[in-house]
Amino acid sequence: MTFPVVPEARVPVPPGRALLARCAVAAAWLLIRLRPGRLRRVLGVLARGARPCTAEQALRGRQAVVSVSRACAGQGCLQRSVATVLLCRAQGRWPDWCTGVRTEPFRAHAWVEVDRRPVGEGPNIELFRPLLRVSAPTASRRNT
């Protein structure tokens, strides 16, 4: 997936959280090698039992991932988004994970959302049409 971005600024991350973020980045590196359908199924299983994430929690997760990984700070949107949801999941939360495309010019991108609002993305994200989404389970879906 490609999306022209300027590398994101790194923020100080406490050592324990940095270690957890590095683990999430490493796990994401393995997961993004799966086929899209399988990746979606794996993330769907991981999302089970999680509480919905707040925008602030998702942004802190994204910032931690970006701060410990050069790949995630630049053009690595797929790894960044997967690592972000994994880091949030380690704390019992789940933001929506999305991938999508735009056609003029063609580009693919992956990101996280909370309440259908992209977290930490620029204004050009509005040009992308979501194709895959793994949402946080809701109370009504858990009980059915």
Element (H, E) at 26: helix 15-31
Q: Specify the pLDDT at position 74.
A: 85
Query: Cα–Cα distance between 52 and 33 in angstroms, integer?
Result: 26
- What is d(CA 94, CA 99) in angstroms, rounded to the nearest whole number? 16
CA 22/CA 83 separation, integer angstroms: 9
- pTM for this structure? 0.89
Strands 51-52 and 93-94: parallel
Maximum distance among all Cα pairs of the chain, rounded to whole angstroms: 44
* Whole-number Cα distances in Å, 126 to 6, 45, 56, 108, 130: 18, 28, 20, 13, 10
Q: pLDDT per position in the chain (144 positions), as tens? A: 444 455 677 788 889 999 999 999 999 999 999 999 999 999 999 999 999 999 999 999 999 999 999 999 888 999 999 999 999 999 999 999 999 999 989 999 999 999 999 999 988 899 999 999 999 777 544 433
Quick one: pLDDT at residue 143? Answer: 39
Closest CA to 134 of 89, 71, 76: 89
**Distance (Å, whole) CA 28 – CA 87:** 10
d(CA 128, CA 144): 32
pLDDT at res. 144 = 37
Cβ distance 135 to 96 under 8 Å?
A: yes
- What secondary structure letter does DSSP report for 125? G
Q: What is the pLDDT of residue 3?
A: 46
Residue with tokens 């994970």: 97
